Amino acid sequence: MISTMKVRMKEMSMMRLTISQILIKKREEKAITQDVLAKFIGVSKASISKWETGKTYPDITLLPKLASFYNITIDELIGYAPQLTKDEIKKQYHELATKFSKQDFDLVYEESQSIIQKYYACFPFLLQMGVLYLNHYMLAPTEEKQQAILEETAQLFVRIKQESDDVWLNKQANSLQAVIYLLLKKPEEVLSLLGDTLRPAVGDEIVLSNAFQMMGDVEQAKRTLQVNMYQSLSSLAGTAHSYMLLNIDDQEKFEETILRMEGITSIFGLKELHPNIVLQFYYAAAQGYAMQGNREKTLYWLERYLGVCTSNIFPFTLHGDNFFTLIDEWLENLDLGINAVRDDEVIKESMLQSVCAQPVFGFIQEDPLYKLLVENLKFSLGGKK
């Protein structure tokens, strides 16, 4: 209750400040006195003065008259925009992500919920707020709260699909809603959203690249194919991690998957290009061998995982390299830009928890090498040995 009141008070304070600034700006633009405005609106000069200093704000019944006088909309008068730009969405996302890493979770969640209410018809914003919650719900203080946030987030995606006419946005919302149902252990709902029949992938990138080439834009043709290769590489790596763990009981297939992923990692220089892919690969290998009870190989892959964790990967950003030379502009234009979707401190804490709080590694916790690795990780990520 206290956190909610704080957020509401902050909103009211911001609204008064916005109206006061706009009233001053518009009156100065028209070069009129407070007396002139007061006479038109039918209030005292003292009332105008209080509005402009932010001590009070106009009665709601006076807003149409004020807007009419200045020839602006009521939304413009109170500084409200029902839609946010792509850059504003990106900025809002990363500001809230930083707050989630440093401030009380419930307070930040209340603040983000109030912002959602304000822009409830800005569907690109709702999508990214859903992504924000998916990346931070685990920071909620209780499991019950985490489950509730996931359920509420699913409803954001339902709203997008019901109200938005953007096909691509709706497709993303549907996929993210399926992720939530997977986290909630509701496989039937996942299948109802995604279907249980795989369809051939429809790739337009080669056709698009050829079209650019025909038009003489060879640079854009190359960029299109580089972006496609980059995305395909990320998709292949993610699929391989899951496939590896599905083959825990098939030692030959399990180790063949690891071998092939090592080849991809080396050939494409993924440690430098996209260390997060490598982290997921190494961790999945360690997890798989731990599930098999193989102490030596579990420690081997954990050591490689922690080696990447403690390398110079922060601040984490997406980027190209000497092969993917044309993708940086595309990365910059992603909905959330090149920065990580979670604050670095949250990522570091997640790295620690992935090693120290996973029951699957319980059988090696007394091993001297494991203890040394954990201590080095804590030290490297800002802790103390």
- The pLDDT assigned to 321 comes to 97
- The pLDDT assigned to 14 comes to 42
The CATH homologous superfamily for domain 2-77 is lambda repressor-like DNA-binding domains (1.10.260.40)
Please name the residues in contact with 251: beta carbons below 8 A apart, sequence gap of 6 or more.
292
The rounded distance, in Å, linking the Cα atoms of 139 and 101 is 9
Q: What are phi and psi of 339, to 5 degrees?
A: -80, 155
* Gap between the terminal Cα atoms of the chain: 40
Can you give the three-state secondary structure of 20-87, one letter per residue? HHHHHHHHHHHCCCHHHHHHHHCCCHHHHHHHHHCCCCCCHHHHHHHHHHHCCCHHHHCCCCCCCCHH
Encoding tokens for residue 294? 């193989």
Nearest of 380, 314, 312 to residue 347 by alpha carbon: 314
Positions of the chain with pLDDT under 70: 1-17, 80-82, 383-385
Are 19 and 57 in contact by the 8 Å Cβ rule? The answer is yes
The rounded distance, in Å, linking the Cα atoms of 288 and 232 is 24
The rounded distance, in Å, linking the Cα atoms of 385 and 379 is 6
Which residues pair with residue 339 across a beta bridge? 317
Q: What are phi and psi of 280, to 5 degrees?
A: -65, -40
- The pLDDT assigned to 81 comes to 65
Only one residue has tokens 């043709």, namely 221
Only one residue has tokens 């989630």, namely 100
Domain ranges of the chain: 2-77, 86-194, 233-380
Are 115 and 135 in contact by the 8 Å Cβ rule? The answer is no
Please name the residues in contact with 167: beta carbons below 8 A apart, sequence gap of 6 or more.
none
